[in-house]
Structure 1
Amino acid sequence: MAIDLVSRAEWGARAPRGSYSRLTSTKGVKVHYTGGRVDPAIVDDHARCVAVVKSIQSFHMDGNGWMDIGYSMIACPHRKVFVGRGPHNLPAANGSGLNSGHYAVLGLVGNSGLVEPPDGVLHAILDAVDYLRAQGGAGKEIKGHRDGYSTDCPGAALYAWVKKGAPRPGGGGQEPDPETTPKWPGRLLKYPPIMRGDDVRDWQRQIARLGYTIEVDGAYGPESKAVCVRFQKDRKLDPDGVVGKLTWDAAFTPLP
C-alpha cells in the first residue's frame, strides 16, 4: 500500500525553533523506541498515538532544549507514519556526531507496556524507510540506535527484528486499494480565482502526506498553486500550477 503519512499540520506539531541543517543523503535509517512506557491502549485508539507524538515533541523541545522533535519520522501501530523533521533535515535523536549518517525513525513501542512491536508498527517503519529513500536520499542501511551509540534503544524486540534484516511482516506489503484512492475529479484545479471543494482538500491532503508544507483547507489559492509548481518540478511535469489529470495521478501514484 502507499504510505499513510500524517502531516505535521494533521498531528498538530509545534513550529521548529529555527532552521534545520540540511542533508542531501544518508547511509540509511536508524530505528528507535521511546525508552519509556507506552500504553498498550494506543493499539486501539489512534488519537492516543497523536498524543504520544505531541508529548515527545514537547519533551524534546522543552526538556532537551532541541529545536524540534528529534526524529525524522514516527511509526504507529495503525501503519501510519508521522512526519517529524522529515527528509533532507538533520535529525537529533541518533547522538552527537551520528545524526548526519542516518535518518531517525521511531517505532511507538517502549521498555514497558507495549514492548512487542505490532505488525502495523513494523510495516510503518518500513514505509518510512521507503519514503526516506525515495524523498530524502537515504541509503540501504537499517540499523538500531544502539549501533554505534551506548543505549538500549530500540529495545530487545525491535533490535532483534533489525538484526534479522528488518523483514516485512507476512513477507510483503498490501497492494494499493483503488477504491480508497480518490479519482481525478474531472475539473482543473487552478488559481485565480480561488477554487474550493472536497477534491481540493483530497489533493492538498495527499500533497501534505508526500512531505510538502501546505494548509489542508479545501481552498486552491496562491499557496496551493506555489506548492503545485514545486511538486510538478519534482516530478518532471509541466510546472504550470494547475492540477490536471497528470498532476493528480502523479500525487497518488507511489514512486518506483
Structure 2
Amino acid sequence: MAIDLVSRREWGARSPRGSYSSLTSTRGVKIHYTGGRVDPRILDDHARCVNLVKSIQIHHMDGNGWIDIGYSMIACPHKKVFEGRGPKRLPAANGAGLNSAHYAVLGLVGSSGLVQPNDAMLHAILDAVDHLRDRGGAGREIKGHRDGYSTSCPGDPLYRWVRRGAPRPGGGDPEPPPEPHPSFPGRTLKYPPVMVGEDVRTWQRQMRRRGWDLDVDGLYGEASRAACRAFQEEKGLAVTGAVNRATWNATWEAPIT
C-alpha cells in the first residue's frame, strides 16, 4: 500500500539547527499523541493539520531546545503522513536513553478535543511504520510511548489500539504477532579475534535453523564470519562479516529464501 507522504518541503518545515544522529535499525516504533488539546476541526480541514505540525516543530525547537521536531513521522486524520526527522535519524520524543531503540510516530490526537483516532489516521500510522521498516530498518515492535516511560502518551484510545496489536481498520482479525526473538546483545559479534559467548551461540543456532551449515559452538571465528558475510549479501545488508543490530534482527525477521 503506497504511503501518502507529505515531505518536509511540502509542509514548510524549518531546517534543523544541527546534524542528526544516525540510526540504522531499531526494535520498532513507539506511538505518540500530542498531549494537549487538538481542535476537532482538523477532521474537515487538512490545512489545520499542517499548521498543527508546524506548531509542534516550533515548540520542540524553541521550547525544548531540540534541533528539530522530535518525531520521525506524523500521521493525520486524512491518511497523510508528514515527514518529521524521517528514517535513519535518531528521534527525540521517546525520552532520554530510549530514542535509539524505537522510532517515534505521532498521531494527531490529544488529551482533549479530538482524542479518538479515525480509521484514516490509523492507516496513516501503519503506513508510517511500514515506511520506517522499509527505509530505516525498524523492527517489528509497535509500542506506546508509555511502554517503558512514565507518561499518559499516547492516550487511552490510541493505546488500546496498540495493545490490540495495531490492526489495520477493515482488515479483519489482526495478524498474530511474530515469534519473539532475543534482543540484540549490545555488542557487535566480529572476528578477529575469536569472540566467545552465549550470544554467539544464540546467533549460530538461528543461522542453522535458516539452513546455514554452521557449528553451534559459541565461538565467532572464521566460519561464522564467512556465513555472516554470505547472509548479509543475500539480504542486501552492508557486507562486513560482523553481526551488528541490523544483521542480528534480520537473522530472525528476514524471509527465508
TM-score per shorter chain, which class?
0.5 to 0.7
**Residue equivalent to 1:12:** 12
**Residue equivalent to 1:122:** 122
**Residue equivalent to 1:80:** 80
In structure 2, the gaps of 5 or more residues are 173-235, 237-257
Identity value in percent: 80
User: Is 1:163–2:170 an aligned residue pair?
Assistant: no
**Residue equivalent to 2:152:** 152
Deviation at 1:45, TM superposition (A): 0.5
Distance 1:108 1:84 in 2: 13
Counterpart of 1:69 in structure 2: which amino acid? I
Deviation at 1:151, TM superposition (A): 0.1
User: Is 1:53–2:56 an aligned residue pair?
Assistant: no
Deviation at 1:2, TM superposition (A): 0.6
**Residue equivalent to 1:188:** none
**Residue equivalent to 1:34:** 34
Deviation at 1:169, TM superposition (A): 0.4
1:87-140 C-alpha deviation (Å, 9 max, x unpaired): 000000000000000000000000000001011110000000000000000000
**Residue equivalent to 2:202:** none
Corresponding residue pairs, total: 173
In structure 1, the gaps of 5 or more residues are 173-235, 237-256
The DSSP-based 3-state class of the residue aligned with 2:28 is strand
Distance 1:120 1:58 in 2: 26
**Residue equivalent to 1:108:** 108
Deviation at 1:57, TM superposition (A): 0.1
Distance 1:19 1:32 in 2: 24
Deviation at 1:10, TM superposition (A): 0.1
**Residue equivalent to 2:62:** 62
TM-score by length of 1: 0.67
Task: List 4+ stretches of structure 1 deviating above 6 A.
Answer: none
**Residue equivalent to 1:207:** none
Counterpart of 1:29 in structure 2: which amino acid? V
Deviation at 1:86, TM superposition (A): 0.2
User: Is 1:138–2:160 an aligned residue pair?
Assistant: no
Counterpart of 2:16 in structure 1: which amino acid? P
The DSSP-based 3-state class of the residue aligned with 1:140 is strand
Distance 1:43 1:116 in 2: 11
Distance 1:81 1:170 in 2: 19
The DSSP-based 3-state class of the residue aligned with 2:170 is helix
Counterpart of 2:149 in structure 1: which amino acid? Y
The DSSP-based 3-state class of the residue aligned with 1:141 is strand
Distance 2:157 2:78 in 1: 18
Distance 1:86 1:131 in 2: 9
Larger gyration radius, structure 1 or structure 2: 2
Distance 2:70 2:23 in 1: 15
Q: Which residues of 2 match residues 88-237 of structure 1 at below 5 A?
A: 88-171=88-171
Deviation at 1:43, TM superposition (A): 0.6
1:176-227 C-alpha deviation (Å, 9 max, x unpaired): xxxxxxxxxxxxxxxxxxxxxxxxxxxxxxxxxxxxxxxxxxxxxxxxxxxx
